Amino acid sequence: MRRWAMDFLTLFAVYVVAVLTCIALVCRYSGRQQTPFTLLLDCVWRVIAPVTPEWLRRCSHGAVHKLFHQRNTMFIYLHLLLEGAVYAEFTCEVVGYCREMDTTLTSLSVPYVLLAVKSFLFYLCITTDPGSVTKQSVAGQLQVYPYDKRMFHPGISCPTCLLLKPARSKHCRTCNRCVQRFDHHCVWVNNCIGAQNTRYFLLYLLSVCAMAGDVALLTADMLLHAVLRSGLLRASYIDDDGTRQTAGPLFVMQHLFLTFPRIVFMLGFLVFVFFLLAGYALFHCYLALVNQTSNEWYKSRGLVCRHCRPGAAAHHQRGPAPDRSQRHYYSRGLLKNLAEIFLPLQPALKKSN
């Protein structure tokens, strides 16, 4: 029994460390070109490249480039695969146990309602044009937002699109287009997040969090009832030294892990997804409240850091350090900021003579 306890504690500790490390890395390096993962991948590639055949190097380089630097649907299929696996396990095993515990049909139907809502928002994120800057639309988009002359300057053209860049726009190298009010490129929806689909993306994040949280709560409630019905909390066992021990939380967790392994792993995955996406969703809710994009948030951090560096006096002479109001230059108040997310500002139409 002691060996089982040590094995379980080791597995659980590794799992917790892995989850916390992933959350910390996502929060620290989200949106950056250089991350520990890319640096590690570059180091590994430099080591194995000399002993790799030329044809395999070309294929590997092309596959990596297509996966991370071109639009592709692989992450959409991966998203659907993971979602299908979770709902298959939930439907085939958890729902049956919940029905035995007299869980109401209303409670069991909520995850499927959330799945339908999430799927609709997911579809809108994928198919909605984020606000592409084109020859036909650029004249009107130039009038939507003023230039703050810190992050966005008038008169600058995109070297790829050869069009004037409207304020708050950015060229996406993955989609090969400039996007109005560019936030970021999301590989999970194979699309940029911009002026016209930020509302769908924000609601999509919230719906995924609600879906994962609800399925996790129903699953945890099922496991709790299984423990209470089995009488494990009142049970005892003989340890390796021949001493009778009362079954504690560790014994109960091991029992659940051995009795319902797929359900326990599914619950762990859902908890991980919930906390990971909940933090990400809260970050985007904050951006919506202050009328800022992820792109602008990263840029504003860079402006502040440059002014805070030692020896930056010469830079201060060319202009004052950005304050908080300048970092939230486009904020127009809480309600108007939210209204701009859900009712995006439209390009001004030229009046015909």
Give the closest residue to 249 by CA, choosing from 233, 235, 267, 237.
233
Q: Look at residue 187 and give its three-state secondary structure.
A: coil
Question: Given the structure tokens 């340890």, which residue do they identify?
Answer: 239
> Rounded to whole angstroms, how far apart are CA atoms 308 and 159?
31
Catalytic residue check, 172: no
> Rounded to whole angstroms, how far apart are CA atoms 27 and 50?
35
3 state SS for 54-111: HHHHHHHHHHHHHHHHCCCCHHHHHHHHHHHHHHHHHHHHHHHHHHHCCCCHHHHHHH
Give the closest residue to 204 by CA, choosing from 305, 144, 277.
277
Give the closest residue to 205 by CA, choosing from 226, 179, 186, 225.
186
The active-site residue out of 98, 161, 186, 192 is: 186
Question: Which residues participate in catalysis according to the annotation?
Answer: 186
